[in-house]
Amino acid sequence: MNYNVIQDIETVMELTELSTEAFAGQLGVSRMTLNNWLSGKKEISEKNISAFYDYTFNRGIRLNKIKEQLYAEEIESGSQVLLFHGAKTRIEGELSLDKSKQKNDFGPGFYCGESLEQSAMFVATYPSSSLYMIKFDCKDLKGKEFGVNRDWMLMIAYYRQRLGAYADSEIIQALMEEMQGIDYIVAPIADNRMFEIIDQFIDGEITDIQCRHCLSATNLGKQYVFVSDKALRQAELLERCYLTAEEKESYLLSRRENYELNRDKVKIARKQYRNQGKYIEDILE
């Protein structure tokens, strides 16, 4: 799936109310070149694609946010949801589980987020990254939803292969039985900061209640994980969206600011809930 560059150019021309000649001048090309792009007579180069989206973002036009709002209005209530997937480069061919890594939050799967910003943020450091908007219909699928709770913490640790000797405990095996036949999972997003907190719980440094409140403080939102081919067939790629360098930097800046805030919230939560709850050896042994 390619970018909808021509449609986006037409949209921005309408928003800026510039003539073809004036708009071409803004992009540093001739009117004939712009007309050739719009008519399909000439393919727009990657350099000019980048220049167009840079110009658009610098003009304060947030195309991706506009598209998010428009697609959200088309989503039918009930079983459908609008999701986002950040790709380091692009998705080749149909959605597939084949290229998924084993040591993800819930093992192999196709991972999406509910938030445009969060999904873009996770791939913002990659020079050729892009963002996909996806419509997912969970009708007739079997799902499993986790909150920020002990079961979620244990499952993340299990799939990340951090439980060690505890992996065969009765509690873990019971949780794994509940995962049988699941098509998709809805759960809080776990980033590197969350893994550090979960590691502290697994290593016996903090209790389950301390861990839960520390994780709640990070507040990254939810992710959808498609773990069956049936779920993938009900996920429709709507559009591949361009991420400019400045747009990605804005997401990274927001991430750094949130990290500082969340770090302090985690410290307070760890202190406030000290000596409350159980340590992992008391839960799983």
pLDDT for 62-89, tens place per residue?
999 999 999 999 887 789 999 999 999 9
Q: Judge whether 176 lies within some domain.
A: yes
121 shares its domain with 233: yes
Q: What value does the mean pLDDT take over residues 117-126? A: 92
Domain span including residue 107: 80-284
- Nearest Cα neighbor of 188 from 231, 212, 220 is 220
Condensed to tens digits (0 to 9), the pLDDT of residues 15-64 reads 999 999 999 999 999 999 999 999 999 999 999 999 999 999 999 999 99
Q: Judge whether 74 lies within some domain.
A: no
User: What is residue 219's predicted lDDT score, i.e. its pLDDT?
Assistant: 66
98 shares its domain with 52: no
Q: Judge whether 63 lies within some domain.
A: no
115 shares its domain with 53: no
47 shares its domain with 129: no
Return the bridge partners of 188, or none: 222
Whose tokens are 């597939």? That residue is 96
Residue 89 is which amino acid?
A: T
User: What is residue 70's predicted lDDT score, i.e. its pLDDT?
Assistant: 94
Most distant CA pair in the chain, distance: 74
Condensed to tens digits (0 to 9), the pLDDT of residues 151-189 reads 998 999 999 888 888 888 999 999 999 999 999 999 998
Return the bridge partners of 82, or none: 135
173 shares its domain with 272: yes
37 shares its domain with 94: no
Distance CA 136, CA 81 (A): 5
Q: How many domains does the chain have?
A: 2
Q: Judge whether 195 lies within some domain.
A: yes
Quick one: pLDDT band at residue 193, thresholds 50, 70, 90?
A: confident
Cβ contacts of residue 197 below 8 Å, gap of 6+?
206, 211, 214, 215, 218, 266
Q: Judge whether 69 lies within some domain.
A: no
26 shares its domain with 106: no
User: What is residue 26's predicted lDDT score, i.e. its pLDDT?
Assistant: 93
11 shares its domain with 127: no
Q: Judge whether 133 lies within some domain.
A: yes
* 140 vs 265: which has the higher pLDDT: 140
Q: What value does the mean pLDDT take over residues 211-228? A: 85
148 shares its domain with 16: no
- Nearest Cα neighbor of 61 from 91, 18, 100 is 18
**CATH number of the domain within which 16 lies:** 1.10.260
218 shares its domain with 260: yes
51 shares its domain with 89: no
- Nearest Cα neighbor of 247 from 124, 126, 90, 89 is 124
Rounded to 5 degrees, φ, ψ at 67 are -65, -40
Condensed to tens digits (0 to 9), the pLDDT of residues 128-161 reads 999 999 999 999 999 999 998 899 989 999 998 8
Q: Judge whether 84 lies within some domain.
A: yes
Q: CA of 57: how far to CAs of 124, 137, 165, in Å?
A: 15, 31, 51
52 shares its domain with 84: no
Whole-number average pLDDT of the chain: 90
Q: CA of 265: how far to CAs of 171, 189, 196, 197, in Å?
A: 30, 17, 15, 13
